[in-house]
Amino acid sequence: MKTINDWLDDKYEEMATSPGFSNKLSDFEQQAAILRDQAKAEGYSTKDLSEECGGNIAAHLMNRVNTRNRAEIRRKAEKNLTE
């Protein structure tokens, strides 16, 4: 079984690249509820998930996804500068 951190890393990628995903707070709240259910179904406790996310799953998801998106934008900009 993966660590909760590794499991979350996979989920961030899946979430950020899924069609129709938006950066609205309500979407992150909904995704947090889905992640809690998925974690439980895969053998992780809600407590472990919450602790891994610093106590606020939705805020943690928002920070991770937004950080990933900013990094992608930066990579594209740097690539355009070198071309």
> CA-CA distance, 71 to 66, in Å (whole number)?
9
- pLDDT score recorded for residue 20: 67
pTM for the full model?
0.72
How do residues 42-70 score in pLDDT, each as one tens digit?
999 999 999 999 999 999 888 887 776 67
> CA-CA distance, 27 to 74, in Å (whole number)?
24
**Which of 19-23, 24-28, 33-37 has the highest average model confidence (pLDDT)?**
33-37
